[in-house]
């Protein structure tokens, strides 16, 4: 068994109900497992890197928010959020709305795996994504 590994990064803020708003320089490592094609490649390195960078750019320098009934980008230019008794009004341009339950590293890693699976669905690859919040802590999702 072998795999191809592609990395990227982004800087973003997030919070859980039990936390204050804070940020990380997230590092992401995607691994692609599968059979080699007739040219002896698992995946085109450049395409994989470009796809991962594009996804990271959607989050870079943004506040990550779960896309939900109360967090939406339609109708208003800003979103009001309340965290630990503090109220914030954030321009939608500065928010990355993500269709997940909460912006934990675990859910974000799963979301990125699903995005990569969708992009490379013709290749029949297994994909894992490790999302590091810090050098000493990360979450990994395997499809
Ligand atoms: Zn955090």
How far does residue 29's CA lie from ligand 1's centre (Å)? 17
Q: Which residue has the higher pLDDT, 17 or 140?
A: 140
Give residues with Cβ within 8 angstroms of 68, minimum separation 6: none
Map out the domains of the chain with their CATH numbers: 3-62+103-142 (3.30.479.10)
pLDDT digits (tens, 9 = 90+) for 44-70: 999 999 999 999 999 999 999 999 877
How far does residue 74's CA lie from ligand 1's centre (Å)? 27
Interhelix angle 45-59/105-119, rounded to 10 degrees, is: 140
How far does residue 21's CA lie from ligand 1's centre (Å)? 8
| Global pTM value | 0.93
């Amino acid at each position: 068994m072998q795999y191809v590994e592609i990395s990227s990064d982004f800087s973003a803020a997030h919070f859980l109900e039990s936390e204050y708003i804070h940020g990380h320089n997230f590092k992401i490592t995607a691994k692609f497992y599968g059979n080699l094609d007739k040219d002896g490649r698992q995946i085109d390195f450049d395409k994989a890197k470009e796809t991962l960078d594009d996804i990271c750019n959607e989050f870079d320098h943004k506040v990550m928010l779960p896309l939900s009934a109360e967090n939406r980008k339609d109708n208003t230019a800003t979103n009001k959020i309340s965290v630990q008794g503090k109220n914030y009004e954030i321009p939608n341009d500065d928010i990355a709305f993500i269709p997940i339950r909460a912006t934990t590293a675990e859910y974000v890693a799963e979301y990125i795996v699903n995005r990569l699976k969708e992009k490379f669905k013709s290749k029949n690859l297994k994909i894992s994504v490790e999302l590091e919040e810090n050098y000493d802590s990360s979450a990994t999702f395997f499809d």
